[in-house]
Amino acid sequence: MAQAVPTYALYGEQTYNSVADWLHCESIPARSALFDWEIGAHRHAGLFQILNMTQGRAECLLGERWLPLPPPVAVLVMPGVTHGFRFSPDTEGHVITLLAGQALQMPQAAPELRPLLAQSRILPLPDWAATPVAQAVAAIALDYAGSSPGRLGFIEAQLTVLLITLGRVLAADAEAGRPNRHAAQFRMLLDQHFRSQRGLAFYAGQLGISDVHLNRVCRAALGCSALGAINQRLIAEARRDLTFTLLSVKEIAYSLGFDDPAYFTRFFTKQAGVTPTEFRRRSARHPDRG
């Protein structure tokens, strides 16, 4: 019988008792060292957590999978989500715990935070974000441990800076991911249709983007134009056929959608630097029948 996942306020504690009432902040070593650097699978009812790891090695259980945590990284854990951590003893960073209601109200004032707070996530931090995130977390930790005038207002302001910075990281990841997604879809379409000699307009139409945008996507993700990618796919298949089949050059040309074998020979020679016959001879695997 599977063991039930325990629900804690903070790991190892049954009640939530924070000086700030709605927020708790502690270093990763402060709690993890007490449990031999392993925080077992658990969840929190009504609490939202942000972990910022700046140094060390770690694995994170988020839902059902253990995943590596290369620093600098942030982990956001929604209420009720099973999670756990395994840290190396040299790990540095902090964990901020908020009452879920406090955290989830923030998108009302800053709607751009809705995607960030929509689900639990691991968020690797690029260089431009790692320092401001660490500075905001350190400022929260310092004032949390102190008693300066305006302490809670300062913590709330730094928390806003922290979440907006993380929201910008997520938005940048999404923006950078669009070309990669379109490029992956283009490659799949190319594998299906390259023998039909489809043009750019066909592939762009299938993706719902313009020819110009398809070229931008390919240059960003593949390092060549869309036409270059189409030509590379045709040449790759021609090379395989010349090396591993007994098809004649003429038969290969027709199989790749070329109506004129002589044009195929000129195309292959321009792309590969040698004629199909010479390429086959150099491969020294099969004689040319055509």
In this structure, the strands spanning 83-87 and 92-99 are: unpaired
What pLDDT score was predicted for residue 16? 54
Biggest CA-to-CA distance, the chain: 89
User: What pLDDT tens digit does each residue of the chain (290 aa) get?
Assistant: 446 777 766 766 666 555 456 899 999 999 999 999 999 999 998 999 999 999 999 999 998 889 999 999 999 999 999 999 999 999 999 999 999 888 878 877 778 888 999 999 999 999 999 999 999 999 999 999 998 999 989 999 999 999 999 999 998 888 777 778 888 889 989 999 999 999 999 999 988 889 999 999 899 888 899 999 999 999 999 999 999 999 999 999 999 999 999 999 999 999 999 999 999 999 865 444 44
Distance of CA 23 to the CA centre of its chain: 29
At a CB cut-off of 8 Å and minimum separation 6, what does 69 contact? 53, 57, 58, 59, 60, 75, 85, 122
Location of structure tokens 């799949």: 188
What pLDDT score was predicted for residue 19? 46
What pLDDT score was predicted for residue 105? 81
DSSP, residue by residue, 54-78:
EES-EEEEETTEEEE-PSSEEEEE-
How much is the pTM?
A: 0.65
What pLDDT score was predicted for residue 1? 43
CA distance 184 to 199: 17
